[in-house]
Amino acid sequence: MKKDVIVIGGGFAGMVAALEAGEEGAKVVIIDRGSIGLGTNSALSNATFSSPTMHYAPEKYVRDTLKTGKEINRELLVRLMAKEASLGFSLLRSLDLELVELSDGYYVKSARPDLIPGITLVRALAGKIRKVSGIEVLTGLYVTEILRDGEKVYGVRGFDKTREEVSIYAPAVVLATGGAGAIFLRNDNQKNIMGQGYYLAAKTGLELWDMEFVQFYPLVIAQPGLPSLLLYPPYPQEARLINAAEENILKKHGLDDPNKAHVTERDRFSAILFQEGLKGPLYMDYRMVPTSRWKRHPLSLLTKIKFDFQREPFAVSPAAHFFMGGIRIDESGQTALPGLFACGEVAWGLHGANRMSGNALMECVVFGRIAGRSAARYALNCPTSLPDLKELSKGFSYDPSSSQGTQRKLQRRIREIAWRCTGVVRSEKGLREGLAEVKNLEIELKGIGPHTVHDRKLKQDLMGATFVLKAVLYASVSRKESRGSFIREDFPQQDDLNWRKNSCLTYDWEEDRFSVSYYPAG
């Protein structure tokens, strides 16, 4: 198959990029290992956008974003986001989505109170994409390689549900594969969001920036047997956060209100819960919340889950939520590899050391448009001649013995190492232990031959997950300070004099190791 633009990832960023590239007249294919829209992290979102409004000046929005990012964001990208925000909202309004204005942004009104708002958002986009004749949708295709010929990209390669190896050619590829939250034991992401995009990009030789910065969300359901659903604010006044001895955790640490702590002290809030959680389970107690409140958002979202939240406290935990680090792009969404563009959570630069709430979806819509438009213009203006393709159609040999059980055990170990060594609070000792453990685990993983397509997907996921985990460990051990989402108990202060810098990881595939460089932030 040959196209002008290939978009990898059917989340919000990828769908916006595909629509924009289609608008520019490019022939587009959007690929997802699952489906487009549903099944992505975007579908799980609260559909809340932070942005300048009539009452929130662009300059204040820029300053707040930089302040939350502890001043290591790329300011030119933040300013571009503020400038182009309204164009993103025009796109959403054209899809008949109802945008409700807040003092500091907008949210998309959910089609029903018991439906996660992100579902309404992604359904509208996926519905529109399916009606555009120039955009082909390929679902169930797992991309394993971005093809490059010398200095340029010329397509992607992967495998589909029927074991078939698939190559698709195009002069421009947009990477919109999301983050890697699901490499952590506690996370609120879709279970397969394990950093494939970072892995794919690094395999082409690209650098990874600021990988130590992972955002943790303070309150996620951790009750065994229940989905790890994020507990959306506002939290009812009557809610109590307790430990097994029924001690009020917030009071104990001088935080009176979870809603306030969530907005003004989210990192400290997560760190407190992380450390309390290491001592024993934590519970949310909604028993005193009046019955009438359960019909309204956000408590209405819990009514679909088979658990009596009104009568029983349930286990909660902080959880990995969002990756601030990733792939460097310029103002046109272009990476350092000609023809490769990136947008959404996989891209780096906007959020610095921590992300302002609502800025991830803002990033998807603004930079999705930019990347889609730039990729289309690039492709339509410089058609690529294809290299010899015969060489590419090598098959994949499956192993006759099933590997799923072993791989699931390795997955569990990866997630435990990630949580224990690169959770909210980290130390040099823990990080070095983590690096040693991952090294051993990687050797075991490499020795596994997948039996089915499912096993192969899992192996691919785990290869990506171990790679990303190594990147987070390595970047974290190298930064000798605490900043934003990142707390080093052995370096508890933010050190602007020495560390107002961005980290840049390069991977040497022959030597099998990372090296890190630092650049002054800005």
Ligand X SMILES: Cc1cc2nc3c(=O)[nH]c(=O)nc-3n(C[C@H](O)[C@H](O)[C@H](O)COP(=O)(O)OP(=O)(O)OC[C@H]3O[C@@H](n4cnc5c(N)ncnc54)[C@H](O)[C@@H]3O)c2cc1C
Among residues 344, 325, 249, 247, the alpha carbon closest in space to that of 485 is found at 325
* Burial class of residue 246 (count of CB atoms within 10 Å of its CB; 0-12, 13-18, 19+): exposed
312's enclosing H/E stretch is: none
Pairwise CA distance, residues 97 & 99, whole Å: 6
- 198 near ligand X (CB under 6 A): no
Of the CA atoms within 13 Å of residue 3, those in its CB half-sphere come to: 28
- 230 near ligand X (CB under 6 A): yes
- 228 near ligand X (CB under 6 A): no
Interacting residue with ligand X among 20, 188, 442, 455 (CB under 6 A): 188
Size of the chain in residues:
522
Q: Please report how close the Cβ of residue 516 comes to ligand X at its closest, in angstroms.
A: 25
Pairwise CA distance, residues 122 & 10, whole Å: 9
Stretch that binds ligand X, among 34-42, 81-89, 127-135, 163-171 (CB under 6 A): 34-42
**C-alpha triplet 283, 285, 288: angle, nearest 5°:** 175
DSSP 469-505: HHHHHHHHHH--S-BTTBEETTB-S--HHHH-EEEEE
Interacting residue with ligand X among 7, 72, 231, 364 (CB under 6 A): 364
- 88 near ligand X (CB under 6 A): no
125 or 376, CB closer to ligand X? Answer: 125
Cβ pair 47, 12 in contact under 8 A: no
Query: Is the four-CA dihedral 189, 442, 200, 30 of positive or negative sign?
Result: negative
Alpha-helix runs per DSSP H in 132-229: 196-203
321 or 479, CB closer to ligand X? Answer: 321
145 or 399, CB closer to ligand X? Answer: 145
The structure tokens 């603004």 sit at 366
301 or 516, CB closer to ligand X? Answer: 301
Among residues 124, 170, 152, the alpha carbon closest in space to that of 31 is found at 170
Stretch that binds ligand X, among 21-29, 171-179, 205-213, 235-243 (CB under 6 A): 171-179
- 32 near ligand X (CB under 6 A): yes
Q: Residue 66 phi/psi, 5° resolution?
A: -70, -40
- 104 near ligand X (CB under 6 A): no
Cβ-Cβ contacts under 8 Å for 308 (sequence gap 6 or more): none
Stretch that binds ligand X, among 46-54, 245-253, 374-382, 465-473 (CB under 6 A): 46-54
- 361 near ligand X (CB under 6 A): yes
Cβ pair 173, 340 in contact under 8 A: yes
- 359 near ligand X (CB under 6 A): yes
478: its two tokens: 């190298």
Beta-bridge partner residues of 49:
106
Interacting residue with ligand X among 7, 10, 468, 521 (CB under 6 A): 10
Interacting residue with ligand X among 7, 11, 284, 491 (CB under 6 A): 11
Pairwise CA distance, residues 449 & 428, whole Å: 34
Among residues 315, 312, 146, 297, the alpha carbon closest in space to that of 234 is found at 297
Number of residues that bind ligand X (CB under 6 A): 41
197 or 372, CB closer to ligand X? Answer: 197
C-alpha dist (Å) from residue 216 to 32, 239, 283, 468, 479: 26, 21, 18, 16, 18
- 13 near ligand X (CB under 6 A): yes
Q: Please report how close the Cβ of residue 181 comes to ligand X at its closest, in angstroms.
A: 6
Q: Residue 165 phi/psi, 5° resolution?
A: -80, 135
- 31 near ligand X (CB under 6 A): yes
Interacting residue with ligand X among 41, 407, 411, 466 (CB under 6 A): 41
Q: Please report how close the Cβ of residue 511 comes to ligand X at its closest, in angstroms.
A: 25
Stretch that binds ligand X, among 33-41, 440-448, 473-481, 488-496 (CB under 6 A): 33-41
- 322 near ligand X (CB under 6 A): yes
177 or 354, CB closer to ligand X? Answer: 177
Beta-bridge partner residues of 520:
501
- 335 near ligand X (CB under 6 A): no
Pairwise CA distance, residues 151 & 210, whole Å: 25
Interacting residue with ligand X among 358, 430, 434, 450 (CB under 6 A): 358
346 or 487, CB closer to ligand X? Answer: 346
11 or 313, CB closer to ligand X? Answer: 11
- 45 near ligand X (CB under 6 A): yes
124: its two tokens: 């509208």
Interacting residue with ligand X among 196, 223, 407, 485 (CB under 6 A): 196
Pairwise CA distance, residues 85 & 21, whole Å: 18
Stretch that binds ligand X, among 11-19, 55-63, 235-243, 490-498 (CB under 6 A): 11-19
- 168 near ligand X (CB under 6 A): no
Radius of gyration of the chain from its Cα atoms, rounded to whole angstroms? 22
- 354 near ligand X (CB under 6 A): no
Q: Residue 296 phi/psi, 5° resolution?
A: -105, 155
272 or 364, CB closer to ligand X? Answer: 364
- 97 near ligand X (CB under 6 A): no
19 or 230, CB closer to ligand X? Answer: 230
- 366 near ligand X (CB under 6 A): no
Q: Please report how close the Cβ of residue 47 comes to ligand X at its closest, in angstroms.
A: 6
Interacting residue with ligand X among 48, 110, 335, 407 (CB under 6 A): 48
Among residues 354, 351, 325, 327, the alpha carbon closest in space to that of 482 is found at 354
Applying CB under 6 A, the residues found at the interface with ligand X are: 8-14, 31-34, 39-42, 44-48, 142-143, 176-178, 188-189, 192-193, 196-197, 230, 321-322, 344-345, 358-361, 364
